[in-house]
Structure formats: C-alpha cells, structure tokens
Amino acid sequence: MQKLTIAVVGAGIAGLTAVIALAKAGHDVHLFEAAPAWGDVGAGITLAPNAMRGLDYVGVGDEVVRTGVEPATQHISHWQSGETLLTVDRTKTLQQYNAAYVYIHRADLHTILVNAAERNGAKIYLNKSLETVNTETDKAQVEFADGTTFDADLVIGADGLKSNTRHLFKTQSPHFTGHIAYRALAPASPAIQALIDQPGMHIGPGKMVVRYPLRKGDILNLVFFTRQSGWEEDGWSIRADIEELKQQFEGWCPAVQALLNEIRPGSVFKWAINAHKPLEGGWSKDAKVTLIGDAAHAMTPFLGQGAATGIEDAVMLSRAISEAGTMAEALQRYEGARYERTSFIQKESNENADRLQGAESEMYGLGNLRNEETLGLFSYDCVTEQV
C-alpha cells in the first residue's frame, strides 16, 4: 500500500519494533506513549532466535548482540541437591537458527529501539495516553486523555497488558495466573561468579529461580518465581522485602542461598503475573485498528516468548501492509498468520510452568522434553513466514 499515516500506541518492545519496521517501509509513523518520560526498567530479557530475526529485520540485531550477552550453555538444576538435570549447549544456536540467542538489559534494548525509531524518521510523543479510538469517521481518530485527537489511516494498539485499545474488542480484564515473580539485579562478585558464567535455573515444586548475566557479566539478572494467592498487582516498580523472598526459598540448595545473599537490601521488586486468554472474535476493527504484543496476547513468561511474539507481530503486520492491496486485506492476513501461533504459545507457556515446577524435579529432562526449543518456537521466521 502507498504511504499511510499510522498511529502506534505504546512504546514497549512491540510498539517500537512496529514503528521502526513501518517507518522503514516508507509510512508516516507517529508513536504515542502514556509515560511522561522514558523509565529505566531494572531487569533483563531473553531474546530467543525468533525474536532476534525480527530485530535483524528492523536493523538493530547487531547492536543488540554487541550490547547483550550470548550464553554458551544453560543449566537446569535441582532445587535441593543443586544437581544439574539438563545442560543446553548454545554454542551452535547462531549457526542452527541463523539468529543469535541474547540476554540483554531491558533499558539497553529500549534505548536501541528508541534511537532506531528516531533515526528512521518516526515522530514520538510522550505523555499521550490513549483513551479510545473512534472508527466511525473516515479515518481512525485516536482520543487522548488530555482532550486532543489524532487522525490516522491505521491505529496499532501496542499498549500492553492493560490496553485501552483492546477495550474496542470483546475482551475481559487480564486475569491473575497465580504466579508471582520477585526480581532483582545482583552485582557480580566472586561468591556467585560460577553462577554468572553458567546461566540457567533451579527448579522445584511450585517455584523456580532464573539467573542470567547482563552487561558483559557485570550484573546478574535474577527472577524468583513462586505461586501465591491474595496479591495480584503487576508493575516494574513494586518493592518487596528480601526477608519475605528468603523465607520463600528456605531449604533450597547453597547456590540459591548464595544468590539470595548477594541481593542488596531495597533492590527486590515483585510482580504478580497477569495474562490474557486468546481474544475471541479477532483483533482488528473496521480495517482501521489492530493490536500487537501484550495488548493482543499477554502470556505468562515461562517460555520467554512474550516480547518475542510482539516483535514477530510487528514485523508480520508491517509486511502484510506492504504486500496487501487494502487495509482490510492486510489486517486479515496479519491476524490469520498470527492468531494460532500466539494462542498456542499462551497455552504452552502456562503448561511449561507446570512442567518446570512439577512435584518431582529430579524427573525433569527425562523422557520427552517439551520446551521453547523442542516446541519449534525458535524456527519461526517472521521475515519469510507467509502473511
């Protein structure tokens, strides 16, 4: 399609990737973000090869690889004995998938994406909170909380788990999944150097601890997952008490105790994992509005695919718009290509938590292994996949 005016709402990983892809394709792209300023999320993220393929497509893959850390191996260990249950060799991942596997600080990834969006000519507006979209006029009209409006040929809702754009569709509020994530960054130290050099996780009944290095190994990203009820808030800046976390992991092996001991007081945050069920009846309205990323299919993080699928959405949507003759056709092709895959990953991600956190941790890895790699998720190529 010829040059379009496109409004992307939400400057998360999905929205920014979409902005870059669409600006590169020659469209007039406007990005609206509710936050008044860029924040600094103190956490890491894993970019699997299927995510990196999308980032390569928008031209930031090399910078992401240079800024992040590529693991050589990953280790899954028993919560109590500390014994290794499974070792994954990642030295051949790049060759096997023709895309890297990268750990990166979220703030670094965000900076790379914002810079690329600006370099490619996208206009970015902060402090612009979408209230709704009016599709009854010729164009889609975005209505903001400050009373202003913006007219576009297409509005892309990339406004995350609690998306206002999603309210245009038959949706329910996100639901609490029963999982809580405690997050912390620990500075590198001799006591945990071996655990920094060998990223991975400890798994136990109903709980697990994920660790991986960021910023050339200067920092260790830690996520302690538990299952709890009675507390359901989510957000990147909700503080938690280190003693509460230590209590949750009493009796876990010395390696986990060493990790807990390296966390500085005041630096633990907690996040109740909320998610969506697949959105029945479609993601697109009147050939003028669609959804990507968590706004479309927020999932639990147990396959590390939330941002990855948002990146895939962004590339596939941009390609559908380039290849289709009309917007109605583009959105139909985009949804048609994405719904089944993202619904499958939403379901499998929940089930993977149960597999990793089963009652008999010592059995993990024996028999048929079902994880993000054996499920074939890494092989998906948003650059060549039919859309």
Ligand X SMILES: Cc1cc2nc3c(=O)[nH]c(=O)nc-3n(C[C@H](O)[C@H](O)[C@H](O)COP(=O)(O)OP(=O)(O)OC[C@H]3O[C@@H](n4cnc5c(N)ncnc54)[C@H](O)[C@@H]3O)c2cc1C
Of the listed pieces 31-39, 84-92, 340-348, 372-380, which binds ligand X according to CB under 6 A? Answer: 31-39
Instruction: Decide if residue 11 touches ligand X (CB under 6 A).
Output: yes
Of the listed pieces 52-60, 108-116, 261-269, 306-314, which binds ligand X according to CB under 6 A? Answer: 306-314
Rule CB under 6 A: choose which of 67, 141, 284, 305 binds ligand X: 305
What mask, x for binding ligand X by CB under 6 A, covers residues 107 to 136?
Answer: ----------------------xx------
Instruction: Decide if residue 200 touches ligand X (CB under 6 A).
Output: no
Residue 286 beta carbon to ligand X: minimum distance, rounded to whole angstroms: 20
Rule CB under 6 A: choose which of 294, 312, 335, 348 binds ligand X: 294
Identity of the residue, 204 or 293, whose beta carbon is nearer to ligand X in the bound complex: 293
Query: Inter-axis angle of helices 49-57 and 13-24, to 10 degrees?
Result: 40
Environment class of 170 (CB within 10 Å of its CB; exposed 0-12, middle 13-18, buried 19+): exposed
The CA distance from 288 to 293, in Å, is 17
Longest dimension (CA), the chain: 65
Instruction: Decide if residue 223 touches ligand X (CB under 6 A).
Output: yes
Nearest to 304 by CA among 195, 221, 196: 221
Instruction: Decide if residue 35 touches ligand X (CB under 6 A).
Output: yes
Residue 159 beta carbon to ligand X: minimum distance, rounded to whole angstroms: 4
DSSP for 332-376, written as a single string: HHHHHHHHHHHHHHHHHHHHHHHHHT-S-GGGTTSSS--STTTTT
Rule CB under 6 A: choose which of 22, 109, 133, 158 binds ligand X: 158
Rule CB under 6 A: choose which of 310, 317, 327, 373 binds ligand X: 310
Environment class of 5 (CB within 10 Å of its CB; exposed 0-12, middle 13-18, buried 19+): middle
Cross-strand bridge partners of residue 50 = none
Instruction: Decide if residue 13 touches ligand X (CB under 6 A).
Output: yes
Rule CB under 6 A: choose which of 7, 8, 10, 19 binds ligand X: 10
Identity of the residue, 16 or 260, whose beta carbon is nearer to ligand X in the bound complex: 16
Instruction: Decide if residue 306 touches ligand X (CB under 6 A).
Output: yes
Beta strands in 70-199 (DSSP E): 73-78, 84-89, 102-105, 123-125, 130-134, 140-144, 149-152, 154-157, 175-187
Please report, as residue ranges, which positions from 265 to 284 form the binding site for ligand X (by CB under 6 A).
Answer: 271, 273
The CA distance from 381 to 51, in Å, is 9
The CA distance from 363 to 327, in Å, is 50
Residue 145 beta carbon to ligand X: minimum distance, rounded to whole angstroms: 8
Count of Cβ atoms closer than 10 Å to residue 199 Cβ: 23
For 91, the token pair is 């030295």
Question: Judged by CB under 6 A, how many residues of this single chain contact ligand X?
Answer: 34
Rule CB under 6 A: choose which of 1, 7, 9, 214 binds ligand X: 9
Of the listed pieces 152-160, 250-258, 260-268, 362-370, which binds ligand X according to CB under 6 A? Answer: 152-160
**What letter does residue 264 receive in the DSSP assignment?**
P
Q: The tokens 């994920």 sit on which residue?
A: 210
* Interface residues toward ligand X, by CB under 6 A: 9-15, 32-35, 45-46, 51, 129-130, 158-161, 164, 181, 223, 271, 273, 293-294, 301, 304-308, 310
